[in-house]
Amino acid sequence: MQFTFTKELLAELRDWIADGKDTAIIAAITDAHEADLAELIHELRRDEAVYFYKLLDDERAAAVLLELDEDVRELILSSLTSREIAEDLIENFDSDDAADVISELPEQKQEEVIALLGDEEQASDIIDLLTYKEGTAGALMGTEMVKVNQNWTVSQAIREMRKQAEDIDNIYTIYVVDDQDVLLGTLSVKTMIFTSSSMRTMVKELFKQTKVRTVHVNTPADEVAKVMEKYDLVVLPVVNDQNILQGRITIDDVVDIIKEEADKDYQMASGISEDVESSDSIIALTRARLPWLLIGMGGGMISANIIGVFDISQQPQMAIFMPLIAAMGGNVGVQSAALVVKALANQSALDETLFQKLWKELRVGLINGLVCSTIILLVSLLFHMDLALCITAGIALFFVIIFASFFGTWIPMTLNRFKIDPALATGPFVTTLNDIFGLIIYFTIGHYVIQRIGEVTWAFVG
204 scored as a contact of its own copies (CB under 8 A): no
Report the nearest approach of its own copies to the CB of residue 211 (Å).
Answer: 7
Residue 210 CB coordination number (10 Å): 8
Stretch 269-308: interaction string toward its own copies, x if CB under 8 A: xxxx---xxxx--x--xx--xx-xxx-xx-xxx-xxx-xx
Q: Which residues contact 113 (CB under 8 A, 6 or more apart)?
A: 82, 85, 86, 90, 102, 105
What 3-state class would DSSP assign to 244? strand
Residue 82 CB coordination number (10 Å): 17
Among 16, 53, 132, 321, binds its own copies (CB under 8 A): 321
CA distance 375 to 381: 10
For β-strands 235-239 and 245-250, DSSP reports them as antiparallel
Stretch 399-438: interaction string toward its own copies, x if CB under 8 A: --x------------------------x-x--xx--x---
189 scored as a contact of its own copies (CB under 8 A): yes
Choices 98-106, 120-128, 137-145, 159-167 (CB under 8 A): range interacting with its own copies: 159-167
What 3-state class would DSSP assign to 178? coil
Q: Which residue from 57, 53, 79 is spatially nearest to 65, judged by alpha carbons?
A: 53
116 scored as a contact of its own copies (CB under 8 A): no
What 3-state class would DSSP assign to 82? helix
Choices 79-87, 112-120, 248-256, 447-455 (CB under 8 A): range interacting with its own copies: 248-256
Choose between 116 and 171: whose C-beta lies nearer to its own copies.
171
Count how many Cα atoms sit within 13 Å of the Cα of residue 211 in the half-sphere of its side chain: 4
Report the nearest approach of its own copies to the CB of residue 3 (Å).
Answer: 8
Question: Which strands make up the sheet holding 245-250, listed edge to edge?
Answer: 215-216, 235-239, 245-250
Among 107, 241, 355, 461, binds its own copies (CB under 8 A): 461
Residues 47-86 that bind its own copies (CB under 8 A): none
Choose between 18 and 290: whose C-beta lies nearer to its own copies.
290
Choices 93-101, 109-117, 177-185, 324-332 (CB under 8 A): range interacting with its own copies: 324-332
Choose between 105 and 450: whose C-beta lies nearer to its own copies.
450
Beta strands, E only, 196-261 = 215-216, 235-239, 245-250
Residues in a beta bridge with 407: none
Choices 85-93, 105-113, 130-138, 268-276 (CB under 8 A): range interacting with its own copies: 268-276
Residue-level length of the chain: 462
379 scored as a contact of its own copies (CB under 8 A): yes
Backbone angles phi, psi at 413, to 5 degrees: -60, -40
